[in-house]
């Protein structure tokens, strides 16, 4: 697939948020998805193109639309599996960040506790 190279540089956090949004509402327009993701329309288009090229999202015409320019973005079984994998990876990374932050906070508290009272200089 030609899209594999495109998805290599695709931000996993953005891909996850896009997959979640499309799972909730497959009829989102690119403009609406762009607003929901908080990124430019161009970046949204790039993200969708990469997800489609990778086979995670399938693009179909919206059958009941009087204007056949509307599309529906359906997660493929591979897309659902990838969303789960990305979620798990994201969760592990955030838990590691949380633990590192807790350790840093404990170290700072210990330093502050070691400073004699009377104020800072």
Task: Please state the pTM of the whole predicted model.
Answer: 0.70
Tokens 């996850």 sit at which residue? 16
Q: Which long-range contacts (CB under 8 A, 24 or more apart) does 25-29 make?
A: 26/72, 26/73, 26/74, 26/75, 27/62, 27/70, 27/72, 28/73, 29/70
Q: What confidence tens digit (pLDDT) does each residue in 52-71 have?
A: 999 999 988 766 656 556 78
Per-residue pLDDT tens for 25-54?
999 999 999 999 999 999 999 999 999 999
Tell me, which fold does domain 4-114 have in CATH?
A: Arc Repressor Mutant, subunit A (1.10.10)
The whole-number pLDDT of residue 44 equals: 95
Beta bridge partners of 63: none
Give me the residue spans of the domains in the chain: 4-114
Question: By three-state DSSP, how is residue 116 classified?
Answer: coil
Contact 106, 99 (CB under 8 A): no
The rounded distance, in Å, linking the Cα atoms of 41 and 117 is 54
pLDDT given for residue 7 in this prediction: 46
Residues 90-101: tens digit of each pLDDT? 999 999 999 999
């Amino acid at each position: 697939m030609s899209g594999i190279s495109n998805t290599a540089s695709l931000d996993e956090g953005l891909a996850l948020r896009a997959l979640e949004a499309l799972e909730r509402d497959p009829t989102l327009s690119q403009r609406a998805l762009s607003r929901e993701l908080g990124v430019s329309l161009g970046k949204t288009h790039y993200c969708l193109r990469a997800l489609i090229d990778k086979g995670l999202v399938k693009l179909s015409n919206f059958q009941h639309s009087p204007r056949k320019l509307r599309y529906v973005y359906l997660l493929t079984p591979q897309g659902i599996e990838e969303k789960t994998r990305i979620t798990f990876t994201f969760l592990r990374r955030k838990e590691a960040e949380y633990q590192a932050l807790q350790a840093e906070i404990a170290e700072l508290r210990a330093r502050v506790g070691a400073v004699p009272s009377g104020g800072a200089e």
